[in-house]
Amino acid sequence: MRQLYIRQTPGVLNGVRPVLDVHRQTLYLITGQFGWSRAQLIASSASGEVLAEAKQLSLGIMPKFAIYFNGKEVGSVRRTFGFWREIIYIHGLNWVVMGNLMSGKYKIYHGTHIIANMRPVDGADGGYDQLSVANHSAEPVCLLIAAIMDRWSKQNGRRRLVHNQALRLGQEPKTLGPEYREKE
């Protein structure tokens, strides 16, 4: 799984967010806005090529987004009611997003296979959302889903921007041994 890092921007819900790799190189850009009719998010390459889009179809407490990949609609996602655990189904892709608004941790499943997972980490220059994606071609769509989930967690005012786990960009994360396991 490749590790991608999305800079957390407290208080800023719209604009441009760079997506970095472990070597601090910009791989993608997430641009766009939320909260108004026909708003959209765009995941583009660092050179500006549009890879995926999420277009907001409805407003209200349960907004709906259509997800486009390579110019074709591949699915849709709608917010559901939940308390601390969220379970969201992505129609068309048959993916299920399971997570927790309070902690900002989410996993995306297709059946029993993990497509991606997201969790907050601390960097030397602030907080990041670490997105681990199993399939390189699914990265743009997973980035949009991560941005939508991040927005919904910030809308509720529940998202903590302080985390316990340190991260040093520029080094590969270690995955073996109990000292490297994710702390709850």
Alpha-carbon distance 148 to 154, whole Å? 10
Type of residue at 3? Q
Q: Give me the mean pLDDT over the 15-30 stretch.
A: 90
Helix ranges restricted to H, the chain: 139-155
Type of residue at 21? D
Range scoring the smallest mean pLDDT among 71-80, 99-108, 116-125, 164-173: 164-173
pLDDT at res. 174:
41
Q: Could you give the percent of the chain with pLDDT greater than 90?
A: 42
Type of residue at 25? Q
Taking the CA atoms of 11, 162, 6 and 68 in sequence, report the sign of the dihedral they define: negative
CATH fold for the domain made of 2-169: Porin (2.40.160)
Return the residue matching tokens 């941005």.
147
> Could you state, in order of their start, the residue ranges of all structural domains in the chain?
2-169
Using 50, 70 and 90 to split pLDDT, how confident is the model at 84?
low
Question: Judging by beta carbons within 10 Å of its beta carbon (0-12, 13-18, 19+), is residue 18 exposed, middle or buried?
Answer: middle
**Could you say which DSSP state residue 142 is in?**
H
Whether the per-residue pLDDT at 119 is higher than 70: the answer is yes
